[in-house]
Amino acid sequence: MSLRVGDLSKLSQEMKVQILSRLPPKSLMRFKCVHRSWHALISSSNFAAKHVSVSKDNKLSSSTTILFKRYVFDVNTERRDMVLSLLDLCPDDINSADDDDHLNLSPEDLRVPLSMGLRRRDIWTGIEYVDLACHCNGIICITDYRKRVVLCNPAIKEFNRLPVSCLALYAAEIKPQGSSTAAVGFGCNINCEDYKVVRVLYSQREFNEKNDIKIHPPRAEVYSLATKYWREIKAGALDNGSKNVWPDSTVSIYCKGNLYWRGHEDEKEYFEVPLSYTDEDANSGGEETFFYEDKERIISFDIDSETFHVMRFPNGYYYYHKVFGLWRDSVAVGLSWCADYQCVHIFVLNNKGGDEGSWINCFAIEPVVYIEFQLAFVGTSGQSILVAVNKCAMVLYDYITKRVKYLPVNGVSLWNSQALFYVNSVVSVNGYSDGSDRIPKLVQEA
């Protein structure tokens, strides 16, 4: 039985919200034109909060959306352009028993406007390196490693270019030939109606007459969407006595009010290497010490208290490949010990032990196809999916059914591709028609 516009107008406001909040963002954007009251309802911050909470409820969700960042070759401009691709997958698409392992679906593509000012070209390939730094409640945080940070909601095609901070300008000046941004994260402060962007920046290096190097601790800043300005915060745990803790990747993952990055611990001072190398130096075991020394770290940031914490990787081992994911509403990490990535161990963080927490080794998976490297994984009560690159194609692997599907997402330089499991929402990054300048506080995760 179909529901006409006239029928819907007779329903109570609460019933309208219940019905409309279950529709995809693309349909809701069209329904804004039906009536002024519909436009006001769909554009309100309260409706956006309701819609994203329904989208995150796996019991009501009928599909899984994956967002890809990939590069395609434009024959008109003869350049490689970055494209964001949304792919909606139904359970039948993932676990169908067809002989053809290729999904016959078409992703919806979105190009980031040049007006956003995201620029960072590789001198060898000419590719503009831009990262999807983090995702929270339908909003993607994009950075170019330099000065620029952009918020985007791909489902409704909205962009918001954040102002450049004085701290980022300073960092770009002291490191003009490389990136000034070490890491970027974006997430929701679950204790108040505010979203924040946090950025960790490289700091100045000092050289003395002997060419010894002294590296200053990282600097950090926060941008609040409520106040609309950047402010510097203390780096805290990133300044660890005689050592600094640095992020290894600008990409982070958000979970329950916290952000997580891969990182490493490094010395603050480096002394000039002696010109002569004696037998005594050779017997000191320096090389073996470097190989076995545990320098890998996980950096977390509490969005509410604006404090950094540092923890070790599970078991303190060195891992050839590592990727963050969400496993039943907890942050998890997929680790591989060797270069062929054929055995992936899933560790889940248990925060009941405090800031350091403890890691639980859930299980190890051995995909039935060769995997070059992992891009993303997610585990819920109903499904467990891994997105990876198989030689020259992207694949979707279901841990439970052990089915493999080749995704219809192609492009040049797949090594620079990204993937994340996306929550469809109508949350605006540009304010609301109800007069609210803030992104709404959404339903807290369990």
Name the DSSP class of 412: B
Lowest-confidence range among 234-243, 350-359, 387-396? 350-359
- Which one of 113-127, 215-229, 335-349 scores highest in mean pLDDT? 215-229
Burial group, residue 77, by CB count within 10 angstroms (0-12, 13-18, 19+): exposed
| Chain Cα centroid distance, residue 159 | 17
CA distance 13 to 370: 52
Spatial contact of 394 and 67, defined as CB atoms under 8 Å apart: no
Alpha helices per DSSP H over 277-358: 279-282, 286-292
Q: Which pLDDT score, from 0 to 100, does residue 48 have?
A: 87
Q: How confident is the model at residue 14 (pLDDT cuts 50, 70, 90)?
A: confident
Lowest-confidence range among 13-17, 117-121, 142-146, 255-259? 117-121
Name the DSSP class of 355: S
CA distance 174 to 311: 29
For residues 232 and 121, the model is more confident at: 232
Of 272, 210, 268, 277, the residue nearest 235 (C-alpha) = 268
- List pLDDT tens digits, range 31-42: 888 888 888 888
Work out the average pLDDT over 172-176: 69
Q: Which residue has the tokens 């769909």?
A: 42
Phi-psi region of 387 (alpha: psi -120 to 50; beta: other; left: phi over 0): beta
Burial group, residue 61, by CB count within 10 angstroms (0-12, 13-18, 19+): middle
Q: What is the 3-state secondary structure (H, E, C) of 379-398?
A: ECCCCEEEEEEECCEEEEEE
pTM here is 0.84
The helix (H) or strand (E) run that includes residue 38 is: helix 36-42
Pick the CATH number of 43-422 from 3.20.20.70, 3.10.560.10, 2.120.10.80, 1.10.645.10: 2.120.10.80
CA distance 308 to 303: 9
Per-residue burial over 80-110, b if 16 or more Cβ lie within 10 Å, else e, is bbbbbbbbbbeeebbeeeeeeeebeeebeeb
Residue 181 in this model has a pLDDT that exceeds 80: yes
Residue 26 in this model has a pLDDT that exceeds 60: yes
- List pLDDT tens digits, range 45-90: 888 888 888 887 755 556 788 999 988 877 777 777 888 999 988 7
Sketch the domain layout of the chain as residue ranges. 1-42, 43-422
Of 442, 435, 444, 443, the residue nearest 43 (C-alpha) = 435
- List pLDDT tens digits, range 307-344: 999 988 886 666 677 889 888 888 988 887 665 556 78
